[in-house]
Structure 1
Amino acid sequence: DWRPNPYLPGTRGELAVPIKLREEVLGILDVQSDRVGALTDEDRLLLEGLCGQIAIAMESQRLLDNVQQSERLMRTLIDAIPDHIYAKDLEGRLILANSAEARLHGVDSPDLLIGKSDFDFYPPELAERYRASELPVLHDGLSLLNHEEPNVDATGQLHWSTTTKVPLRNQEGRIVGLVGSTRDITERKQTEQALSEEHTRLRTLIDNLPVSVYIKDRDSRFVVNNAVHLRILGAASQEEVSGKWDFDYFPPELAEQYYADEQELMRIGQPLFNREESVVDQSSGQQHWALSTKVPLRDAHGQVTGFLGFTQDITERKLAEEAVRRSQADLSQALQIARLAYWEYDVAQDLFHFNDQFYAIFHTTAEQQGGYHLSSAQYAQRFVYPDDLPVVGAE
């Protein structure tokens, strides 16, 4: 029923139909006429049908807007990721690529990559290798995870990357392509290579040192042993020794002593220099003498994580010292038996060295004279006749 409306003075008839999708009202379709009775029930039915079409169109537009928003979000996301993101069809042609992938191939926009394959960018042998790695993904649905492989950029520079490729499926679950991500690990590989070369150099160095070199962890277990130390332990390889400790190689009393010294060294964090130790050569079973130096190793936070040890075999030196000691003892005994006096003069220190027989000749003792060592002035004063002083002084 028409009623006058001061805001619509020219309107004599009006139909307002809600635009609904299911139970949601999306809007209202309002039709006005300047004639009374011009809008009928047939017009209402027609408008209701039209509103249904409008509702479907509005929903489609809303869905399209949502899809476009999702696409913009996805594009922003994948372009912000430094890794190379891409998708390929069953023939290996690109159907999606991010900005990082575009930069790799030297183009300004990812759109310029669409429809191209690896054969458009890489040498044939490299493209064939990439294609071969993708076939199990495309044909059998087998994911390729964190696969390391070489790569070449637009300038021909070789890079290393780790790649993951997974099947891309449609709504029916059928494989229609693949999605891949590739991360450049060139710096990591270069670092690993540098570390490997440094390790090789250090290993070559310590294996050619004539002393034992070893590293132990906080529990005094072996981490690194050079060739000399492996031989002493009777081991053929580093793998045979790693994780073991002195209790696996030496008598318990020696191993206990080594362990206690090493744990105390790591507890106080102070090095141990030139300590004489008794060791057993496991390859021969013979006892040796060694001079050991052990220095704590620390991590980036200053915490002691183990220690570095150097052990030099001094058995020959100890045997030589013992031989000299025995020789001196034998000489002293022989002089006593023969009742011969013995003396030496150290020019650099201006010291005379006498034995007991020398003092006995003068009816005195070393104790009475203050020891076995006298300066030339003391010697002259006590044992040289005054008349002989000029001659002795000249000599």
Structure 2
Amino acid sequence: MGGTMLAGHFHGQSVRDESLYRQREQASAYLRNLELGLASITDFNEGLAAHVTTSQPLDRRSFDGYIAIREAFAPQPGLQSVVYLTGGREGQRPAPASHAPTGRHPGVGSTDRLQADHMLHAVSTGTAVDQAIPASQAAMRDAAGSGTTIALPYSDASGTTMLAIFTPVYAPAGPSTPMGDDGGVLGFVRSTFVLDETIRHALGRPFDRALDLEIQDAGMGGRLLYDDDGVRRAGQQESLLAAFTVEFAGRRWQAQFFHKASGASAWEAGEGLVLLSGLLLSGLLALAAHQVGLRLRRPYTHTVFAQNLHKAFKHHPFAVYYLDLQRRFVNVNEKALTEFGLSRAELLGTRSEALIAPEFRDLGRRHWEAALQGTAASYDTVLQAPDGRRFDVNVVLVPMMSGGIVAGVLGIVENITERKRQAQALQRSRRTLQSIVDNLPQEVFWKDIERRVVGCNRNFAQFLGLDEARIIGCTDEELCARQAQIDPARIDEYREEDRRVLERGEAVVGAEMLVRRRDGSTFWARTSKLPLRDAEGRITGLLGVSEDITERKLNELKLEQLANHDSLTDLPNRAFFLLQLERTLAVAPERLAVVYFDIDRFKSINDTWGHDIGDQVIRAFARRVRRLLRPSDVLGRLGGDEFVFFSEGLSRREVEGICERLVAAVRRPIRVDRNRVLQISTSVGVAFHRPGMTADELLREADQAMYRVKASGRDGLHVAQG
């Protein structure tokens, strides 16, 4: 039974979690509908403003016609009145109009049409309509200053919360339009909505049965604008489900969704399908209104942009202008006037082609045709001012779309004369530098931060056996894959060198190595790699210089061989042998044996047969001994007929075995020429290393052991007793 209760607990928890998730999904869906509903009423205003802009002079018939079309496609629930308020210069005022619904508030699907009611003039005279909406003057100033739609919540005489929407109306753009900081605004379209009805319609009718919603205006001290159940619940965090910020027409609203006070949500009551149907219907209606508004306000957006281009790009560092479809200047910023050397009056209405140098006009015409087809273009050309000045420029043409077609073209011109001159000077400098580098005897290359070759001289390309085009952009691994003359076994070494330079900033200077080519040949190279840095000291790459030092290295090795080896037997001489023995003793070897031996009665051989025969005997003796030893054993000639070797890691018995074989091998006759065969022998002394013994002590003990053999008749072996 306990198990059943536990399972029931978890099931209940799962249901509650699922319910919470569903309710939050509801809140997000309601928020989207709310945003679409608000967008549809701003689109209504902006579409009408576009209609007014493109219908100058405005008559009541065209004004009324727009309202009828809009209501047929997308009714505006909660709409109370629509007013066009003029506010431009004298002589520019179109005939203003005002409309109000015949009923109090037309609902969705209403057949009531907005009718002409009365005519209004500029609100600046303090008319009754102006007095009816507090702060309308400030809202219109904000709309004119920002060039955008501004929303203003307020309360009417009955205490109902209303929403006034203000959209500025601009004079149509054209070459003859007067330009000025504020001269483009002719008036405003103002629509007023009953806020409660507008929001309820956007959310959908089933909303009351699902969640509670409160909306506050953050810009009005958190003033409550909407409360669907009349019970203020702000601050009740325990029942707060979700909170969102809605940005809308210059307002910042806080929307807070709460659990329904009654407890059960519509989802738990099995009404999810009904709710989703209501959300879908209200969302589709709001979306339809939004799409119609976008279509109707496109001309308005295009006109406002062209009219205010000089404001938007006032401080732009490049010349910016707007062209109509006939390629005439509609508007320009101040930088364009300076660059083109013309006044605004001279430039407006002029075809841009007139400013292009004659030999470049065909190029400009091709890019213009591409822009008219909706394709942005960027190209370099030459402009020619009226006073004959010519300058290089980069031109960017951006087609401005309206209703799916090109309505005009935005142009941006950058004067690149100085940059091009510098680029040409830099190119000449680079060619000179490349010529110098190509004539250096070393192989020179430079890489970027990713170890890719970005440049090299002729010798480096010849060394790799590749054309420069196949080298640039490659890493060492990729060059190896392209059959460059690089030893694959050395790739890891090269990579580590590059990492030291690029990551740690360490210079690799004079690194010498024996390099093997793919064809099996070898050579000695000396390479240096230095970090390359930018003006801020950041590492941007490396410079490598490599040279073939084979001849020098062979000479050095030859000198080293002469200095360290016996010229007759090519064995290490006394000094070099002692050096190697000391190095071995320095690392505390295990079971080290030193064997000291010579040729018995060698003096008599020299005295009887001469030194040439004696040298032949020495060489033959050294060869026999060398064949008996391991590669790791070190054999040296101390002088005359005295030899020595040391071995590591062998037991006492193993060392004695080697020495016994040595004695036996030397007994074999040595043929020195066609007629002479000599019989020789050797005396061998052995000393084993003990802790603390030096190289000289070991040699001395082995030498003494050898003389024990001499004293006992020669041709034998004696091991020192340590």
The interval holding the TM-score normalised by the smaller chain is: 0.5 to 0.7
Preserved contact between residue 391 and residue 417 of structure 2 (Cα < 8 Å): yes
Given the superposition, is the C-alpha separation of residues 266 and 260 from structure 1 closer, same or farther in structure 2, using an over 3 Å criterion?
same
2-structure distance, mates of 1:324, 1:52: 115
Please report how far the alpha carbon of residue 289 of structure 1 lies from its aligned counterpart in structure 2 after TM superposition: 0.8
One-letter amino acid matched to 1:314: I
The equivalent residue for 2:441 is: 210
Please report how far the alpha carbon of residue 111 of structure 1 lies from its aligned counterpart in structure 2 after TM superposition: 1.9
Structure 1 residue 115 and structure 2 residue 173: aligned? no
One-letter amino acid matched to 1:257: E
2-structure distance, mates of 1:281, 1:198: 35
2-structure distance, mates of 1:25, 1:99: 36
Residues 26-74 of structure 1: CA deviation (Å, up to 9, x unaligned):
99xxxxxxxxxxxxxxxxxxxxxx9813x2x448999997422468754
Q: Residue 181 of structure 1: SS of its match in structure 2?
A: strand
How large is the Cα RMSD of the aligned pairs? 4.4
Structure 1 residue 137 and structure 2 residue 371: aligned? yes
1-structure distance, mates of 2:474, 2:334: 48
Please report how far the alpha carbon of residue 321 of structure 1 lies from its aligned counterpart in structure 2 after TM superposition: 4.7
The equivalent residue for 1:181 is: 412
Structure 1 residue 289 and structure 2 residue 524: aligned? yes
Counting only pairs closer than 5 Å after superposition, residues 141-152 of structure 1 correspond to structure 2 as: 141-152=373-384
Structure 1 residue 260 and structure 2 residue 318: aligned? no
Given the superposition, is the C-alpha separation of residues 332 and 65 from structure 1 closer, same or farther in structure 2, using an over 3 Å criterion?
closer
Q: Which runs of 5 or more structure 2 residues have no equivalent in the other structure?
A: 1-78, 86-115, 126-139, 141-165, 171-183, 186-303, 570-609, 613-638, 641-722
1-structure distance, mates of 2:453, 2:80: 75
2-structure distance, mates of 1:210, 1:22: 90
The equivalent residue for 2:592 is: none
Please report how far the alpha carbon of residue 211 of structure 1 lies from its aligned counterpart in structure 2 after TM superposition: 0.6
Residues 159-210 of structure 1: CA deviation (Å, up to 9, x unaligned):
332323244567x766565332222233443444344333333322222211
Q: Give the TM-score normalised by structure 1.
A: 0.58
Preserved contact between residue 97 and residue 111 of structure 1 (Cα < 8 Å): no
Q: Residue 75 of structure 1: SS of its match in structure 2?
A: helix
Please report how far the alpha carbon of residue 252 of structure 1 lies from its aligned counterpart in structure 2 after TM superposition: 4.5
Please report how far the alpha carbon of residue 212 of structure 1 lies from its aligned counterpart in structure 2 after TM superposition: 1.0
Structure 1 residue 52 and structure 2 residue 89: aligned? no
Given the superposition, is the C-alpha separation of residues 111 and 226 from structure 1 closer, same or farther in structure 2, using an over 3 Å criterion?
same
Please report how far the alpha carbon of residue 217 of structure 1 lies from its aligned counterpart in structure 2 after TM superposition: 4.3
Given the superposition, is the C-alpha separation of residues 135 and 220 from structure 1 closer, same or farther in structure 2, using an over 3 Å criterion?
closer
1-structure distance, mates of 2:366, 2:526: 60
2-structure distance, mates of 1:26, 1:246: 73
Preserved contact between residue 160 and residue 185 of structure 1 (Cα < 8 Å): yes
2-structure distance, mates of 1:300, 1:84: 30
Preserved contact between residue 232 and residue 281 of structure 1 (Cα < 8 Å): no
2-structure distance, mates of 1:268, 1:174: 56
1-structure distance, mates of 2:83, 2:406: 40
1-structure distance, mates of 2:500, 2:405: 66
Please report how far the alpha carbon of residue 113 of structure 1 lies from its aligned counterpart in structure 2 after TM superposition: 1.4
Preserved contact between residue 213 and residue 310 of structure 1 (Cα < 8 Å): yes
The equivalent residue for 2:468 is: 237
1-structure distance, mates of 2:564, 2:81: 118
Structure 1 residue 275 and structure 2 residue 511: aligned? yes
The equivalent residue for 1:196 is: 427
Counting only pairs closer than 5 Å after superposition, residues 39-188 of structure 1 correspond to structure 2 as: 52-53=118-119, 55=120, 57-58=121-122, 66-67=169-170, 68-69=184-185, 74-107=309-342, 109-118=343-352, 120-138=354-372, 141-167=373-399, 175=406, 177-188=408-419
1-structure distance, mates of 2:354, 2:450: 57
2-structure distance, mates of 1:133, 1:206: 41
One-letter amino acid matched to 2:317: P
Preserved contact between residue 233 and residue 281 of structure 1 (Cα < 8 Å): no
Please report how far the alpha carbon of residue 102 of structure 1 lies from its aligned counterpart in structure 2 after TM superposition: 2.2
Given the superposition, is the C-alpha separation of residues 142 and 308 from structure 1 closer, same or farther in structure 2, using an over 3 Å criterion?
same
Please report how far the alpha carbon of residue 287 of structure 1 lies from its aligned counterpart in structure 2 after TM superposition: 0.3
2-structure distance, mates of 1:24, 1:119: 45
Counting only pairs closer than 5 Å after superposition, residues 371-386 of structure 1 correspond to structure 2 as: none
Preserved contact between residue 527 and residue 544 of structure 2 (Cα < 8 Å): yes
Q: Which segment is superposed worse, 203-212 or 302-311?
A: 302-311
Please report how far the alpha carbon of residue 308 of structure 1 lies from its aligned counterpart in structure 2 after TM superposition: 1.6
Q: Residue 293 of structure 1: SS of its match in structure 2?
A: strand
Q: Which segment is superposed worse, 68-77 or 267-276?
A: 68-77
Please report how far the alpha carbon of residue 220 of structure 1 lies from its aligned counterpart in structure 2 after TM superposition: 4.5
Preserved contact between residue 235 and residue 241 of structure 1 (Cα < 8 Å): no
Q: Which segment is superposed worse, 321-330 or 311-320?
A: 321-330
The equivalent residue for 1:308 is: 543
Preserved contact between residue 367 and residue 377 of structure 2 (Cα < 8 Å): no
The equivalent residue for 2:457 is: 226
Residues 63-111 of structure 1: CA deviation (Å, up to 9, x unaligned):
997422468754333343332222334433333333222223322x312
One-letter amino acid matched to 2:397: K
Please report how far the alpha carbon of residue 277 of structure 1 lies from its aligned counterpart in structure 2 after TM superposition: 1.5
Preserved contact between residue 320 and residue 336 of structure 2 (Cα < 8 Å): yes
Given the superposition, is the C-alpha separation of residues 234 and 168 from structure 1 closer, same or farther in structure 2, using an over 3 Å criterion?
closer
Q: Give the TM-score normalised by structure 2.
A: 0.34
1-structure distance, mates of 2:84, 2:384: 54
Residues 101-153 of structure 1: CA deviation (Å, up to 9, x unaligned):
2223322x312212322454444333444234323433xx2333323323234
Q: Residue 537 of structure 2: SS of its match in structure 1?
A: coil
Match of 1:298 among 533, 539, 553: 533
Q: Kindly indicate whether structure 1 or structure 2 has the higher relative contact order, using CA contacts under 8 Å at least 6 residues apart.
A: 2
Given the superposition, is the C-alpha separation of residues 255 and 24 from structure 1 closer, same or farther in structure 2, using an over 3 Å criterion?
closer
Q: Residue 116 of structure 1: SS of its match in structure 2?
A: coil
